[in-house]
Structure 1
Amino acid sequence: MENLPGSGYVASTEKSEDQPKTEKPRARFGLISALVRLGLAVLILVLAVYWAFSWVAQRPDAPQRMNRERTFTVEVIDPVYASHSSSITAYGQVASARTIELRSLVAGRVLEISPDFAVGSQVEEGDVLVRVDPFTYTGAVVEARAAVADAELSLAEAEEAYALEQSAITAAQEALTSAQTDLERARSLLSSGAATQQTVDTRALTVSERQQALDQRQSNLVTLNAQILRQQAAIAQAGYALESAERDLANTEITAPFTGIVTARNVTASAYVGANEAVASIYESDALEVSFMVSDATYATLRRDGLFDRSVEVSRTTGTDAERISGRIARVAPEIDSATGGVTLYAELDSEGAELLRPGTFVSVEVEGVTHENTLLVPETALYDDNHLYVIRDGRMAAVDVDIRDRDGAQIIISADIAEGERIITTRLSQAGEGVAVQVEGEEQATGPQGGDGPGGPGGGPVVIGRGPGG
């Protein structure tokens, strides 16, 4: 260190001669301590390994596990070949097959409205709902009837004149014939000298006059016939006018065309209604239908088996009760729904019970399915990979290929070749496979090949799963 001025301290610049002698013993002691610790660690490790091997060598041998085959308890059904049909469930909406808008066919002031004519009320066929003032239309009927009577009277006069003219023509024809006979006789007498030429000329003039009279009568008859035709046309025209006036008079009473439910009312008492003005809307309560959608594949199946007149059952749940109405498929929508690819069907509902429904109600629709002859009905749990099931054959599982024909809820309609006496396994097993030992629930298990008492029985050790004989 440097000397600090004024501090009175002088730093020593020389090292102490005793310092190296002190550091050497300390280094030697640290090395010995490290070697001792390492030796202790190695000794502990060796002792631990020795103890582990000794414990393993002295451990008693584990008992041998008995390789015994496991037998599964299953439920079965007997195969019953019969005709089976599945029901198709869909959801639809009720609509009215017949809805009309009542319009006033005549103009006038509303005199009366039926007290039963209200939105939501039921009206019967023929009920008068609205009365329009009939005064003007009654007068039109009176005038039309007078016109018809006048035309009929004129026709009667023309027909009478026609009949008289026909009688006159008959008389004129007879007079002409007589004059012609006299003329021929005079000409015969003239050749023999018994008559003069003047007589012949006179009689010829008479024939000419009578011919002219006959022609005039016939001309009059044509005129009278035309007059009759005109009067007949006038009667027809007057009759049409009368019918139109009577219809207008009848239309002053607006009646219900069928028994139905009023959905709208657009008229009030003392108001003026114009011709063709809408006064109400009514749908027929006995003509309801339900529209529902099925997939294109289901539609194709139903069409092959007969689509129209196929039975359906419509149900609607209200609280704890379910209302059921029968019906039949009547028609198909003209187009396929582009969004879903489904086909909309329409079923007409039977009138019995249909009064419980209203248009717009959402319902469940159950359609009578296709009938499959000589098929089996099995639960879904019996089917594996949608192409096979298992039967019991000599106490073991045996696979049988199946063809799925249809589905009915949790039941599947299949066709399969199952030998007589074999039973179908309905219990779902994760270890299912060809040759797995099984026993029917409720039936006594036969003693196995090892002579034991079955899994878990007396004398039975741990159980392992085996497949096949001796597995």
Structure 2
Amino acid sequence: MNWRILLFIPAIAVGIGAFMIINNRGPEPATSNGVRPLVPVRVAEVVLEPVEVSVTGYGRVEPVRTWEAISQVDGQIISTTEDLAVGGFVSEGQVIIEVDPRDYEIALARAEANLAIAETQLSELNAQEENTAEQLALEQQIEAVVQADVDRRAALVESGSTSIASLEQVQRDLISQQRRVLDLENALALFPVQRESAEATLASRRVDVEEAERNLSDTRIIAPFDGRILEENAAEGVYIRPGDRLLTIAGGDTVEIVAEVQPAAMSSALALLIPDAADVIERFNPFETDAAINALNAAGISATVVLSQGTDYRYPARIVRLDGSVDNTTGTIGIVAEVDGAGIPDPATRRPPLTNGAFVAVLFQGSTQEPQAVVPRSALIEEEDGAYVYVVDDDTRLARRDVTVAGRSAGDMVISSGLAAGDTLVLTPPEPAILGTFLAPVRDSVQTAAQDISQ
């Protein structure tokens, strides 16, 4: 047995005893002159107010809609707009490219002439049918007269008042008249078929005119909306063919940004903004867009796009959807925000346009529904059984206060319960922190600015 170890036991026991005495002793006794020693500490008054919460995501500007001009006709480009260049702006209804229209004007005139002929032929056919019907009615009346004459002569022959020869003559006249009536009836029966053929020809001629008109209109490339030219492959004097890609326009009315954010950051923000956050966070599923958007709306989160070009330019945005996927490398999710009217210059705001591909930040911001306290992280002590802070009690002594942490940011902690407005928070507890120690508070301020729960 090593007896030297036993020599250290008394010293260790004395040290433990002294530590226990220090931690269990009461307030510092008064000095010989009756004044208690005071421990200086930095303190701040607790203020309860709604906490501004923000989550920052980053992404690139993309147009919500694009339009690609592909040639539908062949011919030589005879004119282009002065703005026909990548980055140039065009207005809705502006003629950007014009192809030589002469061949298509001739084709349209020919198609219109053929249409007029078909319309005339149908009109003539209708007139012929009407005339044939009137002639048939007249011939049928004559047939009835001849038939009556035949009947009368037959009666006379039976009475012996006339000869059989006269009866046979009128019978031959009746047969001839019946033949004329039959010919007209057959001719009239053919008119419906002839009309169908004429109407089909007329419809075909109308299609020819529509095609010729469309081809003629396709010789002019007109901007369908205000926007910026992203790509152009046309120039005056160039001969183009159907299928040639001429230019691409990005709409300037609305742009969108797929802002990549960490799901944990957004969940922390929701936990601060909504008292019953557990259910909301569970519903914040990047694969269920509608439920996630409902969660953001329930939290009152708004979006602002920030473009940094020496100066930060801000553009109000709206949250429209999630892209429904998680980045395999960064683990981020994409929240899509749209900005109206930011893709083209606006002299009124003097802000630069959000051009295609620009890298921007998107601030998702909200405010807590209930006033809460914000304390520096250094003032909070977190242990397995809970979190607490030190405060100055009414007797200017050090006291402990158990608190509930609602959320956290890079430098501050949001406290949902345990602190009241007007409490004096100890920012720098004495070492060792002995409850009941008399303090000499030195006033400071608690940072209550917007909490930046960033990635």
2-structure distance, mates of 1:365, 1:285:
19
In terms of Rg, which structure is larger?
1
Structure 1 match to 2:312: 322
- Contact 1:312–1:366 under 8 Å retained in 2: yes
- Contact 2:46–2:373 under 8 Å retained in 1: no
Structure 2 match to 1:397: 399
Question: What's the offset of the Cα at 1:323?
Answer: 1.0
- Contact 2:372–2:416 under 8 Å retained in 1: yes
Question: What's the offset of the Cα at 1:206?
Answer: 9.6
2-structure distance, mates of 1:304, 1:412:
27
Listed as ranges, the matches of 1:395-434 within 5 Å are 395=395, 396-404=398-406, 406-407=407-408, 410-418=411-419, 423-425=423-425, 427-429=427-429, 431=431, 432=433, 434=435
User: Aligned to 1:365, which of 362, 367, 378?
Assistant: 362
Question: What's the offset of the Cα at 1:164?
Answer: 2.6
Is the counterpart of residue 344 in structure 1 residue 334 in structure 2? yes
Aligned length: 373
Residue identity in the other structure for 2:333:
V
Q: Which ranges of structure 1 fall in alignment gaps of 5 or more residues?
A: 1-64, 444-471
Cα deviation code 1:144-172 (max 9, x no counterpart): 11111111011111111222334345556
The farther-off stretch of 250-259 and 68-77 is: 68-77
Provide the secondary structure at the position in 1 that maps to 2:97: strand
Structure 2 match to 1:221: 188
1-structure distance, mates of 2:301, 2:188:
70
Listed as ranges, the matches of 1:220-369 within 5 Å are 220-297=187-264, 298=266, 300=281, 301=284, 303=293, 305-307=295-297, 311-319=302-310, 321-351=311-341, 355=345, 356=352, 357-369=354-366
User: Aligned to 1:76, which of 28, 44, 57?
Assistant: 44
TM-score (norm 2): 0.68
2-structure distance, mates of 1:177, 1:265:
81
CA pair 390-217 structure 1, distance change in 2 beyond 3 A: farther
CA pair 158-413 structure 1, distance change in 2 beyond 3 A: farther
2-structure distance, mates of 1:266, 1:242:
30
- Contact 1:123–1:259 under 8 Å retained in 2: yes
Question: What's the offset of the Cα at 1:203?
Answer: 11
> CA RMSD of the aligned region, Å?
4.1
Provide the secondary structure at the position in 2 that maps to 1:334: strand
CA pair 394-238 structure 1, distance change in 2 beyond 3 A: same
Structure 2 match to 1:87: 54
Of structures 1 and 2, the one with the larger relative CO (CA 8 A, separation 6+) is 2
1-structure distance, mates of 2:161, 2:437:
146
CA pair 303-268 structure 1, distance change in 2 beyond 3 A: closer
2-structure distance, mates of 1:414, 1:203:
123
2-structure distance, mates of 1:149, 1:215:
34
Q: Percent identity?
A: 25
Residue identity in the other structure for 1:402:
T
Question: What's the offset of the Cα at 1:96?
Answer: 1.8
Listed as ranges, the matches of 1:186-225 within 5 Å are 217-225=184-192
TM-score (norm 1): 0.66
Q: Which ranges of structure 2 fall in alignment gaps of 5 or more residues?
A: 1-29, 268-280, 285-291, 346-351, 445-455
1-structure distance, mates of 2:393, 2:174:
127
2-structure distance, mates of 1:201, 1:69:
158
Structure 2 match to 1:380: 376
CA pair 388-217 structure 1, distance change in 2 beyond 3 A: farther
